[in-house]
Amino acid sequence: MDKHFLKSGAILILVGFSQLISAQTKIEIVSIENAPIISKHIYGHFAEHLGRCIYEGFYVGENSVIPNSEGVRIDIIEALKELQIPNLRWPGGCFADTYHWMDGIGDLEKRPTIVNTWWGGVTEDNSFGTHNFLNLCEELGAEPYLSGNVGSGGVQELADWVQYTNFKGKSPMSDLRRENGKEEPWGVKYWGIGNEAWGCGGNMRPEYYADIYKKYVTFMSDADVEGGIYKIASGASNDDYNWTEVLMKNIPKNMLQGVALHHYSVIDWGAKGPDVNFDEETYFKTMKESWLMEELIVKHTAIMDKYDEEKKVDLIVDEWGGWYEVSEGTNPGFLYQQNTMRDAMIAGMNLNIFNNHADRVKMANLAQTVNVLQAVILTEDEKMILTPTYHVMNMYKVHQDATLIPLSFDSPSYNFKEESLPALTVSASKDKNEEIHISFTNIDTKNGSTVSIDLTDLKLKNIMGAILSSESLQDHNTFDNPNKIEPKNFKDFKFNKGMLEVTIPPFSVLVLEGKK
């Protein structure tokens, strides 16, 4: 039996491979002394001007027959409020480094159009801009996370945007904001300094980007934002560890609050596989790429630890999720894909990984919120459906701002042909009300995973649960059958004198709640 030991501060996570599928897996609670808080911002989202995410997704316009609030669909607002989304990243993505924010403010009729050269070559009229987005975030109770244009924009342009959104006093930009109908500033804390600077954000070398980063943030004012603005550097793609090394080595820590990381569960950028009609081999390969997130976080944080022992700089996984070929008959530049039980597996696995690395991972942003990639919401005219991914994030929201309960265990294996992956991911937390939540994701297609946990020291009296499962991995919600996959009550467990025994069915997500 092989074991992988991943140690970070007070957190100890043991993930192993067991050939005894039917054997019971014993999960042990590690000392929770000095355990970190699972930041609610791990459950963040991402909305880019891409395909039908903004237009025909979030934004239908104030004259639409679809019920809306300032042009944004009310049903989407209500769904995201239920999800308790903590933050929303906008306007990109690759689009961010071609977006000039002043094109999206002021008189609608006077706004210039822009060609979205990254996504479909469509022309948009800039009718959805800074006010729309920041007012939406206020209505959602979510922190806005603005991606600044570093690729094609100037230093003054970004500095002006910061002043426009945040400055309370009298200045050219705050006066302009008031002229456009917003007296008090929004107080935008989270700012991305460009996006994917190694690629669509400018094809830069890390050394060059580090210098550019320092130049831009020098002119971004902290005025009127409690604690100052939170600046996030454009980070590495996947296993580009040199990128992280160069940034951590060359950017002073007082200028840097977060370093980004992007990783998608994509099997081959030239042949991503279908969104629905996939076989088990494709599924296994996707799960293998999804599991890579664990290794990436461990290795990137090891580099960060070398330069930042006190963990003052956070790791921000601001793009993650599944990426397949687009749904048949849709625009290839719009990245519209269906959302199946495979996506539920990706969501549950990655959220467990993020939770267990809560000492360094402080924000993550699923790509993307509506109608793009691993969306939580899909729309078709006036219709709207919630995807399996939505339901997983809704089940897992109980971990937001709760204290991590570190666990150790040897995972049973999910075997396919000559390869194996850990079948089980688990994370646990204790919230401010002393309630305990344990989330399980079993990616095995055929075998349930039976576990036992000694919860005696937690003095729990009652346990209840919810499960997301279906008959087929390819199952998904449709506009004709929107509730095919949704959480159901789960009672198939034993809890006696503090000992919990439960079997997590194949390809399912389970969350248990314990109360004293």
Contact residues for 301 (Cβ-Cβ < 8 A; gap 6+): 8, 315, 357, 360
- Chain-centre distance of CA 163, in angstroms? 27
Please work out, in degrees rounded to the nearest 5, the angle formed at the alpha carbon of residue 27 by the alpha carbons of 23 and 33.
170
- What count of other Cβ atoms lies within 10 Å of the Cβ of residue 430? 18
Report how far apart, in Å, the C-alpha atoms of 79 and of each of 36, 58, 75, 259, 378 are: 29, 11, 6, 30, 11
Tokens of 255: 């200028």
d(CA 413, CA 444): 8
- What count of other Cβ atoms lies within 10 Å of the Cβ of residue 33? 7
Count, in order, helices (H) and strands (E) of the chain.
9, 29
> Which among 93, 171, 85, 160 is positioned nearest to 130, based on CA atoms?
160
Q: Where are the alpha helices (DSSP H) in 251-379?
A: 280-307, 341-356
Whether the CB-CB separation of 271 and 330 falls below 8 Å is answered with no
- Chain-centre distance of CA 463, in angstroms? 28
| Bridge partners for 367 per DSSP | 46
Active-site residues, by number, are 196, 319
Contact residues for 451 (Cβ-Cβ < 8 A; gap 6+): 24, 25, 26, 27, 409, 424, 426, 440, 501, 502, 503, 504
